[in-house]
């Protein structure tokens, strides 16, 4: 009578081959994941700058679409503070359309250059607070910025061009770890179509 032969386990060579194959697969997956995270970080930084620039442009354009008076900056001057009025007659401050409210929009860069704020309210305009501070009678919102993003914004009105506003802006993300510094700049020319001459 024959005795059944006991089944044997894996040989040492087979086990070493399996462990080596598993290690190679895990190293490949780790390299793919690391590359994906690097790309994700780069895209997030690029999106932060691109979104900030889009927010600056759209906020300025939307704030001036129905403006009838630019109070700041004055003609021939540059500023980091923009104040535009809607439905205000530049000659005497009265309402152009009496049934509509007189409203202002203020866009300003805080002194640190980290954030651009917007303010909105009704006539008469309360005393302007330092940029970024809360103020009674004004709605305040963050337009763009925040750590680590740095902003530069300049509003300029050419001399004898009461309806033209030039806006220059720049956004910079400083170097972080292995990510290089990223920056974006642009400009915008706004012609106030509703401004009263």
pLDDT tens, position by position, 55-98: 999 999 999 988 988 889 999 999 999 999 999 988 888 999 99
Average pLDDT score over residue span 21-34: 91
Whether 30 maps to a domain, the answer reads: no
Structural tokens at position 155? 């509003």
pLDDT of residue 128: 83
Whether 136 maps to a domain, the answer reads: yes
Whether 24 maps to a domain, the answer reads: no
Average pLDDT score over residue span 149-165: 91
Burial class for 163, CB neighbours closer than 10 Å (0-12, 13-18, 19+): middle
pLDDT of residue 86: 92
pLDDT above 90 for 110 = yes
| Total domains present in the chain | 1
Higher pLDDT, 28 or 45: 28
Handedness of CA 125, 130, 136, 137 (dihedral sign): positive
Whether 102 maps to a domain, the answer reads: yes
Three-class DSSP category at 122: strand
Of 122, 190, 124, nearest in space to 161 by CA:
190
Of 119, 112, 118, nearest in space to 151 by CA:
112
Residue 104 pLDDT level (bands cut at 50, 70, 90): very high
Whether 141 maps to a domain, the answer reads: yes
Average pLDDT score over residue span 162-171: 92
Three-class DSSP category at 31: helix
Burial class for 116, CB neighbours closer than 10 Å (0-12, 13-18, 19+): buried
Whether 29 maps to a domain, the answer reads: no
pLDDT of residue 197: 43
pLDDT above 80 for 159 = yes
pLDDT of residue 5: 61
Whether 132 maps to a domain, the answer reads: yes
Q: Where are the beta strands (DSSP E) in the chain?
A: 67-72, 78-79, 81-86, 103-109, 115-122, 138-145, 150-156, 164-173, 182-191
pLDDT above 80 for 149 = yes
Residues 34-63 pLDDT 10s: 877 777 777 877 888 889 999 999 999 999
Of 52, 74, 86, 85, nearest in space to 156 by CA:
74
Q: Residue 147 belongs to what domain range?
A: 38-191
pLDDT above 80 for 194 = no
Higher pLDDT, 176 or 103: 103
Average per-residue pLDDT for the chain = 88
Structural tokens at position 49? 């700058």
36 to each of 30, 39, 43, 181, how far by Cα in Å?
10, 5, 10, 20
Whether 81 maps to a domain, the answer reads: yes
**How many angstroms separate the CA atoms of 135 and 192, rounded?**
27
Q: Does pTM surpass 0.85?
A: no
């Amino acid at each position: 009578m024959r005795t059944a032969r006991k089944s044997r386990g894996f040989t040492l060579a087979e086990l070493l081959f399996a462990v080596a194959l598993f290690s190679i697969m895990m190293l490949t997956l780790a390299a793919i994941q690391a590359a994906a995270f690097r790309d994700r970080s780069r895209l997030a930084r690029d999106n932060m700058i691109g979104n900030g620039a889009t927010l600056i442009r759209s906020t300025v354009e939307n704030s001036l679409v129905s403006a009838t008076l630019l109070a700041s900056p004055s003609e021939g001057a540059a500023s980091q503070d923009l104040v535009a009025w809607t439905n205000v007659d530049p000659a005497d401050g009265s309402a152009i359309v009496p049934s509509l409210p007189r409203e202002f929009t203020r866009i300003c860069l805080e002194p640190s250059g980290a954030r651009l704020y917007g303010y909105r309210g009704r006539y008469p305009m309360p005393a302007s607070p330092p940029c970024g501070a809360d103020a009674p009678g004004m709605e305040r919102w963050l337009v763009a910025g925040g750590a680590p993003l740095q902003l530069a914004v300049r509003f300029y009105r050419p001399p004898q061009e009461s309806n033209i506003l030039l806006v220059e802006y720049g956004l910079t993300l400083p170097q972080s770890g292995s990510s290089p510094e990223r920056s974006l700049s642009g400009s915008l020319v706004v012609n106030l179509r509703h401004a009263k001459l």
